[in-house]
Amino acid sequence: MTEALEEPVGVRRPRLARSALLAVVFVCAACGLVYELALVSLGSFLIGNTATQASIVLAVMVFAMGVGSLAAKPLQSRSVVSFAAIELLLAVIGGLSVMALYASFAYLSAYTPALVVVAFILGLLIGAEIPLLMVLLQRIRKQDAGSAVADIFAVDYIGALIGGLLFPFLLLPVFGQLRGALVVGLVNAAAGCFLVFVVFRRSLGRIARAVLGISAVGTVAVLIAGLVYSAQFEVTARQAMFRDPIIAAERSPYQDIVLTERKTPLGADTRLFLNGDLQFSSVDEYRYHESLVHPAMAGPHQSVLVLGGGDGLALREILTYPDADEVTLVELDPDMIEMGRTEPELTALNRGSMNDPRAQIVAADAFNWLRENADRFDVIVVDMPDPDESATAKLYSVEFYGLVAAHLADGGRAVVQSGSPYFAPKSYWSIESTMRAGGLSTTPYHVDVPSFGDWGFHIASAGDEPPRLDVDAPAPLRFLSDEELAAAAVFPRDRQRLDMAPSTLMDPRILGYSRSEWAVY
């Protein structure tokens, strides 16, 4: 039986119907790209290594779209009903995709297999859209195949552009990851229902209309229920990933910030996690921050720059020096700054350093801030997350350290937290070779921080002579002393310096590994 007999055109005002169909193509394309970006974004938050996450999602979805286009061939004889079913499925699966993947990460530790399955299903459904929309377009008004393809794809690509821009600038800031995907699912369902129940309503039989109507109501109900319970779900799933009770959490556009606290016989153990990585434990953070700050402050220290350190703990140590009266802290994430200023557990630990009148707090990307600022500083403290993904690798590059060297005043010192020389020796010694390639003379040292293990730093100067490792603090320290510093500069024979290639913007080293090595690692 031909399509004309099975599905009579039944479309009034063809010109208006054609415009409505192209508008639906636009909306569906925008929704499809948002689903794709949501999977990439979630993976970068939960797993890191954004390049790998993007490669997996793009490769799987593009392949599945090709399969979906072929699979849509037998459906063309029932194009209206088939399109409606595909859009409702896409709305449900796309809307719930972020929630499902978050649950697989939190409860099942099976994120990557789940990502491949979800990406494939979404790609399959997205790939089936265009052939069916092409059939519907031709049913409204016959036209040359080349012209029809040009019209469809022009609107499709423009929709993808708008969806790609809406995701980072509207959906993420306003709704967040979970609710953003659910909102897009509702938009997707509305667009599909409009095309089927308004434009092509006369093409539907009574039974098909009833079944699709019930399915549409069910789809919307599921997505609205997801919106209602998304906050409770996120709290429960997030808590499942942490041993201790969560006392504060914030999902910013840049990272997932979680503060936990556990009562111990020795007092409260407060811990900060960024994207699941431990940043400090209140039990022993003083070992890390004293070791990071005070050797750099042994020389001139009237003007100090802190890059990172939005928790305010490094700033706390700097402000113990009365003559450090020009202190600037540059932190990327405004939400981290706000937590450092207002969260009671953090303000108790940082002693209100983020609100100290001597400290100027700037919310900016450290790399760009250094490029745009001409000030020079006696001390520069680089307290950044480890270079374990492409986004942070640029902050451990030759170009970055060249900027740091250019901002050091005469006789100034810079210090960089450099990870563990024991657990990540390639990363540790790659940072030193990169700092040297950026024009800094370095002195490596390491201390024991029980929460992290053996942890390393590099103190540096812009001159030819590496700086001495000493401390001239204004008050007794709990950890550092001449004996500890003498030991900190000594590395056992099985942890000696490795000859590592420097990291650059064009050839970043992720934890010391090249891109190809990291993919295998």
User: Three-state secondary structure along 214-282?
Assistant: HHHHHHHHHHHHHHHHHHHHHHHHHHHCCCCCEEEEEECCCCEEEEEEEEECCEEEEEEEECCEEEEEC
* Angstrom distance (rounded) from CA 495 to CA 489: 12
Query: Within a 10 A sphere around the Cβ of 491, how many other Cβ atoms?
Result: 17
State phi, psi for 116 to the nearest 5 degrees: -60, -45
- Which residues fall within 8 angstroms of residue 76, CB to CB, at 6 or more apart? 3, 82, 131, 132, 135
What letters, b where the CB count within 10 A reaches 16 and e where it falls short, cover 356-374?
beebebebebbbebbeebe
Lookup result for tokens 């393809």: 149
Among 201, 215, 188, 213, residue whose Cα is nearest residue 87: 188
CA-closest candidate to residue 399, choices 256, 292, 281, 506: 506
Q: Pick from 424, 413, 478: which is nearest to 456 by CA?
A: 424
Residues belonging to the chain: 521
Asked if 45 and 275 touch (Cβ cutoff 8 Å), the reply is: yes
Structure letter (DSSP) for residue 185: H
Phi, psi of 247 (to 5 degrees): -105, -15
- Annotated catalytic residue, options 383, 448, 482, 494: 383
d(CA 249, CA 246): 7
According to DSSP, the β-strands at 408-417 and 326-331 are: unpaired
Question: Which residues, other chains included, contact 229 with Cβ-Cβ below 8 Å and sequence gap of 6+?
Answer: none
Q: What are phi and psi of 223, to 5 degrees?
A: -70, -40
**383 noted as active-site residue:** yes
Query: Which residues carry out catalysis?
Result: 383
